[in-house]
Amino acid sequence: MKLITEMLESDVEFITEAKEDGGKNYFIEGVFMQGNIKNRNGRMYPMETLMKEVKRYNKEYVEQNRAYGELGHPQGPTINLERVSHMIKELHQDGNNVRGKAKIMTETPMGKIVKNLMDEGAKLGVSSRGMGTLKPGKNGTNMVQNDFQLATAADIVADPSAPEAFVEGIMEGVEWLQIDDRWVPQYIEKTQQEIKAASRANLQEVKFNAFKKFLEQL
């Protein structure tokens, strides 16, 4: 399975709500994901596939208060707790859109950065992150398959109109394998090439090193 990240061109709102003690709660709200439309990455999420996963994500993560998102562009599917900046509180269908609302966790290191950026009027956006396989469709469209799994419905990223926001994560080209609820890189092609290139004399050593490298990812 491959890491799939999507940054939407549509705007999301970063809002504040006053608290009784005079402080503020910080939220992000808007369209987090879209289905039944070819996006700028050339991919399409069938709405049925997307909502099946949203339903699971709501049940297992949002309703359990563990639907976290990070600040920046993580290079893998695992949620890094030290980089968590917000918690997704709502996720629901609105036509071909999936709208969401997330609360900024202003006491985490990354949440404090988001809070300060919001206070200064910075323009931010969101990026979904998930795992899945792709199948070529019509007109160069890659169809996201029914095995799609969300890592998070929304990471917070820099201005989506900035060039770096259009660059997909460097790890998108890596195959990933799920072991005991953890995603680890699966270096299939490189390992195959190393084994094929190995001489008979050092073949066993190459195989051992490949297996050792795999275990180090667990």
Residue numbers annotated as active site: 73, 127
- Give the Cα-Cα-Cα angle 190, 191, 195 (nearest 5 degrees): 120
Return d(Cα 15, Cα 146) in angstroms, integer. Answer: 34
Cβ 35 vs Cβ 45: under 8 Å: yes
78 CB-contact burial (10 Å; exposed 0-12 / middle 13-18 / buried 19+): middle
Rounded (10°) angle between helices 188-197 and 203-216: 160
Return d(Cα 178, Cα 150) in angstroms, integer. Answer: 13
